[in-house]
Amino acid sequence: MKKFSFSIILFFCFSFTVLAGQPSWTKKMSKAVFTLKTFSADGELLGSTSGFFVGEHGEAISSYAPFKNAAKAVAIDESGKEWEVEKILGANETYDVIKFRVTIKKSQSVELATANPALNSPCWILPYKGAKSLVQTKILKTETFNTDYTYFTMSLQSPLDLVGCPLVDESGKVLGLIQPKNSEGDTLAYAVGAAFAEQLKLTGLGLNDPALRAVHIKKAIPDDLNQAQLMLLMAGAQDSLTFATVISDFLTQFPKEPDGYVSRAQQSYSYGHFDEALQDINRAYELSPQPNYLYQKGTILFAQDKYAEAYDLYQSLFDSSVRSADLFFMASQCKAKLNDSIAQQALLDSCVAQFSRPLLKEAAPYLLVRAQVRLQANRFRDAVADLNDYEQLMKSQLNDNFYYIRYQAEVGGRLFQQALNDIEKAIELAPQNEFYYAEKASLLVRVGMYDDAITTSKALIQLQPDYSDGYLFLGLSQCLKGEKAEGIANLQKAKELGDTQAEGFIQKYK
């Protein structure tokens, strides 16, 4: 009994000695330190470390490494309560630090030191629940990095895992964040300046930062509006979920800025949710009456088949800052949908007129559309002129279909030699397309080049023996050349293969 009492006395004496030797700030600061666990998307534990709060609303810093590939992280405070990491505020993989915010409403934060202590000054490392395990050390070396920040080297022989814990000076102010040792058994400890970790923040380009992309937890929107707008722009190139998340956060943070509504309108439009898109673009225009928002509204109205409304909106912008080839083109499309081909052609003329000569490639799509519209309106030579300009701009990217379209325009405009050149070019690019041979043979017959028509027709028959056009044009050419017996025999073959014109020619030439 006496021995047991003596042990109790020794225990209390020892405890008193440890507590009496601790700095006065230990208990308060212990509330700012937490242990942290990270998890993959399927719930697997990835890693754990320590960290501490640097702000009163859950802002905290810790080691970056455990966050790599993490989809979830929780901070566990001194009392054992878990707080989920809500948003990443910044990260630097080189110095193994990350800043984030947890879902706690109010947090006990540390105070950062504004000056470094002298070398060999005593300092402490405060572990999670560290009131009874405070580790004393001393500064052996300081190095400056990134101009304004300090990297600390200390003596240390503690067996505790102290990575992510705060390095604290005699006054209770935090100097740094403890980093991993260089090797097992290392008697030195290292800390990156806490001020460096605390100042980390996301920029507009943050979504493309490899260190941040490797963390699959939501990223915060930058506080600076310009940077937030840049992030919103960059998010458009990310997956749709990331884009939607950034839009939502931007609108929460900047509800009076039109950019968030415009981005959401664009995403709604891409999903075919036109009513929602229209509502958001109207809201953006209310906040900032810019012509380009009206232009986007016109695009939404067009998608809703409200062509007259869309045209009126486009027309109101003809003399605005958004006057462009695309504006006139969209207006022409409205008129096409309203079956007003005269207005459509006039608007396409205005569209192409937005480009000066020599033309650049940007004009090519509009030239091609106008050529096709002119072709449909029987303005054949005008269509050829547009297609000639298009050819000059897109020479290396032309296919057989282009030459066939121009061939049609040239035939309509009675430019027969040019038409023959183009149908031959189409055959050169698509030598197995029997339709082109038939078109060539037909034109050769029309211009009286019967020998060439016979040669082309025979080539067509060799390519496709069951294609009636080969026999039709061969027979017709032979009849016109005076070889009626052979010609009628080939016309008869065309008839047997189902050609409905052959019988009329047989009756004419027999």
Position 22 scores a pLDDT of: 77
Place of tokens 């003329």: 349
The answer to whether the bond into 222 is cis (omega within 30° of 0) is: no
Q: Is the dihedral of CA 20, 24, 26, 27 positive or negative?
A: positive
Q: What is the mean pLDDT of the chain?
A: 93
Position 21 scores a pLDDT of: 61
Residue type, 474: L
- pLDDT value at 84 more than 90: yes
Query: Cα separations (Å) of 66 from 72, 211, 226, 253?
Result: 11, 12, 31, 29
Q: What is the tally of structural domains in the chain?
A: 1
24 CB-near residues (< 8 Å, 6+ apart):
172
Q: Residue 146's Cα: distance from chain center in Å?
A: 32
Cβ atoms of residues 460 and 469 within 8 Å: yes
Residue type, 287: L
Mean pLDDT of 457-461: 97
Q: Which residues pair with 191 in a beta bridge?
A: 152, 178
Position 137 scores a pLDDT of: 93
Residue 215 lies in a domain: no
The bridge status of strand 97-102 relative to strand 188-193 is unpaired
Task: Give the rounded percent of residues in the chain with a pLDDT score beyond 70.
Answer: 95
* Structure token digits, residue 201: 């923040």
Total number of residues shown for the chain: 510
Mean pLDDT of 32-60: 96
Q: For residue range 205-230, what is the model confidence (pLDDT) as tens digits?
A: 999 999 999 999 999 999 999 999 99
What confidence tier does 131 reach under pLDDT thresholds 50, 70, 90?
Answer: low
**150: phi then psi, degrees, rounded to nearest 5:** -115, 140
What confidence tier does 133 reach under pLDDT thresholds 50, 70, 90?
Answer: confident
Position 16 scores a pLDDT of: 32
- pLDDT value at 166 more than 60: yes
Residue 294 lies in a domain: no
Mean pLDDT of 145-153: 94
Cβ atoms of residues 218 and 202 within 8 Å: no
Position 12 scores a pLDDT of: 36
Residue 126 lies in a domain: yes
Q: DSSP code of 165?
A: P
Q: CA-to-CA distance for 23 and 27, rounded, in angstroms?
A: 9
* Structure token digits, residue 222: 């930058």
Instruction: HSE, CB side, 13 Å, CA atoms: give it for residue 236.
Output: 16
Place of tokens 């605390």: 198
What confidence tier does 130 reach under pLDDT thresholds 50, 70, 90?
Answer: low
Q: CA-to-CA distance for 204 and 225, rounded, in angstroms?
A: 9
What confidence tier does 328 reach under pLDDT thresholds 50, 70, 90?
Answer: very high
Residue 398 lies in a domain: no
Residue type, 26: T
Q: For residue range 13-28, what is the model confidence (pLDDT) as tens digits?
A: 333 333 346 788 988 8
This prediction's pTM: 0.79
Among residues 371, 354, 429, 455, which one has the least CA distance to residue 405? 371
Q: Can you state the percent helix, strand and coil of the chain, rounding each to 5?
A: 50, 15, 30
Mean pLDDT of 256-267: 97
Q: Whole domain around residue 140: which residue ranges? A: 122-194
Query: Cα separations (Å) of 320 from 136, 177, 307, 327?
Result: 71, 56, 20, 10
Residue type, 378: N
Residue 425 lies in a domain: no
Residue 177 lies in a domain: yes
Position 292 scores a pLDDT of: 97
Residue 153 lies in a domain: yes
When mean pLDDT is compared across 132-136, 194-198, 229-233, 345-349, the lowest value belongs to: 132-136
Q: CATH code at 134? A: 2.40.10.10
Mean pLDDT of 390-403: 96
Q: CA-to-CA distance for 148 and 197, rounded, in angstroms?
A: 12
Residue 172 lies in a domain: yes
- pLDDT value at 158 more than 70: yes
